[in-house]
Amino acid sequence: MTVSMPRLPHRSTLRDLLQNHPDAIAAVLCALLVFLGWAALQSNWLGLGLLLLPAAYVIGGYDSAREGLTTLLEEKELDVDLLMVVAALGAAALGLWQREYHLLVDGGVLILIFAISGALEGYAMRRTAHSIRSLMSLAPDVARVMRQGREQEVPVSQLIVGDEVRVRPGEQIPTDALVVDGSSTLNEAPITGESMPVEKRPGDLVYAGTLNGLGALRLRIHQPPESSLIQRVIRLVEQAQSEAPPSQQFIEQFERGYAKVIVLVGVLLSVLPPFVWGWSWETTIYRALIFLVVASPCALMAAIMPTLLSGIASGARQGILFKNGAQLEWMGKVQAIAFDKTGTLTTGSLSVVEVVPTAGETPERVLQLAAVLESVSEHPIGQAIVNALPSSRVSSPPAENVQAYPGRGILGDWQGQHLRVGKREFVQPQTGEIAVHLRAASDRLESAGNTVVWVAVQGRLLGLIAVADTVRPEAVRAIAQLKQMGIGPIVMLTGDNPRTAESVAQSVGVDQVYADLLPEDKLHYIQKLQKEYKTVAMIGDGINDAPALAQATVGIAIGATGNDVAMETADIVLMADRLDKVAAAVNLGRRSQRIVKQNITFALSFIVLLLIANFVGGITLPLGVIGHEGSTVLVTLSGLRLLR
């Protein structure tokens, strides 16, 4: 029962079926052979039965035997696969020795049900892989590009920045690009899980894999195709999944420890009873075999992984990408949530609302000099400032020695002059006193919820730029929903100034606000929250959130508009950039936790029940097998409920 990512089916020809679902086919063949073997024995065709049943053993048990032996030989460890095979072979041997051939059928049924639960687990895994990969497989391989004045079909991997791509109505977007001409409504469900079509006009960003509606679009490639959102996310998820999640490692370790105990007790039980209780040797061996079967923790192991895998698959379909199953568990236990402000609670598509220069400067010059630095910034404020200038006015040559200080601002040299743009504390040490009219303007603009950034040249203040942000439309509802689910406090952590922060906090309804934070301060506040509330989620979009995202029990990154560093650090990526997905993720986590708990309780009680029944002689091997494997299958199926 080792977990690996199987390949995905494309066409269901017989060969593909064999390649992609070998476990399911083996289970079906095994079932057939066991049934025919049983029928043969019923009709007293002993020879035929003795031919069919061993064949069932081989076909149904081959995978388990191979895995069990590999673990035994290579890692010198015992696992449950091997125990099952030994139990089945033991039953068969006992049957042949005692001429009680129905025991061969019992062993066959044991192998059969083991194969079925293995196939079910494989199914859950494939669904997960499928949900995630279908993101990628949906994006087309070729794009229609204008080259030398002609339209040509070019593989997406050969597209270069600046290419003009044409997309016809109903076609898929080949790679992330900006609309330069045309308008249309796009179905972004393949990426975001949102089925509501989205309007796109010139200047808007479209994503690879999304479906164009009725308008013809001309797109310009603004970044290399391999850095499209979908490609980045797929790389992250694949990377995360190639590392075994801690919960799975724990289960495997548990399985091996437990298997040793069972073998030890099994050996004792097959030797001692004749001396202690005077049991006959047949009864002793028979009971020891049943013990081996019912004590195996198959149901216990099936309690967790299939459930978590189904949960991950179900999340992926809604645009919530869990990097591994452990995070799904944690998400269900979240008690406090911290939100970043700019780009997370707000849309992060800022716009400049006012520029106030010092005496003797013009608003244009303030913007222009700020844009020299901001044109290389990844920060939403930078974008806003650059957008406020007509593109012809962004000054060349480019600035030198540009250095961003996340949470503070940006500095650099341009034509022999030192420029700084950012918070007052970042710019002020160099500028001395601030003119009264600027301070008044800044107070007024900040109280109105705007963010004010300051611009200085050679230590002299040039003026300030006020940018406005809009709160995400679903933010209020999303936060209310989280509170209703009993999660609290909801905290806002921002690098912005207290006045702006307070104004946004009030409009969205968070419980606590901490402003003026540097990236490391955000981390400290997460640690503080963790002392009090243990499981703390942090949601952010920027480089300045990365330390906090890493520290939080669960880090959640805003995917489409967020920064790559944030996505890499986070445990969960929200593809839809919709804050209500946070509540959806908590719900999914809670549901999967509930199912895992039910499963474990059920599996454990069943094991105890069967052990007692076996000891007092109340069950036969078939009953033990059906009880044990039946409970395993039930538990696996119960985990698959999350796929709905």
* Residue in 63, 340, 545, 571 annotated catalytic: 340
One of 37, 68, 325, 542 touching ligand ADP (CB under 6 A): 542
Distance CA 335, CA 483 (A): 10
594: Cα separation from own chain's centroid: 19
Distance CA 17, CA 173 (A): 31
Edge-to-edge strands, sheet with 336-340 = 320-322, 572-574, 554-558, 536-540, 336-340, 490-493, 512-514
Which one-letter DSSP state was computed for residue 6?
A: P
Query: x/- contact string, 465-494, with ligand ADP (CB under 6 A)?
Result: -----------------------------x
Q: Is 463 in the site for ligand ADP (CB under 6 A)?
A: no
One of 215, 343, 357, 422 touching Mg ion (CB under 5 A): 343
Q: Is 442 in the site for ligand ADP (CB under 6 A)?
A: no
Q: Is 469 a catalytic residue?
A: no
Q: At what angle do helices 621-640 and 305-317 cross, to 10 degrees?
A: 20
Which one-letter DSSP state was computed for residue 472?
A: -
| Residue nearer to ligand ADP on the CB measure, 377 or 431 | 377
Q: Are 295 and 607 in contact (CB under 8 A)?
A: yes
| Residue nearer to Mg ion on the CB measure, 332 or 542 | 542
| Residue nearer to ligand ADP on the CB measure, 289 or 462 | 462
Stretch that binds ligand ADP, among 76-84, 213-221, 372-380, 631-639 (CB under 6 A): 372-380
One of 95, 174, 245, 409 touching ligand ADP (CB under 6 A): 409
Q: Is 340 in the site for Mg ion (CB under 5 A)?
A: yes
One of 421, 510, 570, 582 touching ligand ADP (CB under 6 A): 421
Q: Is 559 in the site for ligand ADP (CB under 6 A)?
A: no
| Residue nearer to ligand ADP on the CB measure, 141 or 425 | 425
Q: Is 593 in the site for ligand ADP (CB under 6 A)?
A: no
Cβ neighbours, 10 Å, residue 249: 12
Contacts of 35 (CB under 8 A, 6+ apart): none
Q: Is 175 in the site for Mg ion (CB under 5 A)?
A: no
Shortest distance (Å) from residue 542 CB to Mg ion: 4
Distance CA 414, CA 430 (A): 17
What is residue 403's three-state secondary structure?
Answer: strand
Contacts of 632 (CB under 8 A, 6+ apart): 113, 114, 117, 298, 299, 302, 603
Distance CA 372, CA 414 (A): 8
One of 85, 91, 124, 410 touching ligand ADP (CB under 6 A): 410
Quote the tokens at residue 366.
């303030």
One of 273, 357, 407, 542 touching Mg ion (CB under 5 A): 542
Query: x/- contact string, 332-371, with ligand ADP (CB under 6 A)?
Result: --------xxxx----------------------------
Residues that bind ligand ADP (CB under 6 A): 340-343, 374, 377, 379, 381-382, 404, 407-410, 421-423, 451, 453, 494-496, 542, 544
Active site residues: 340
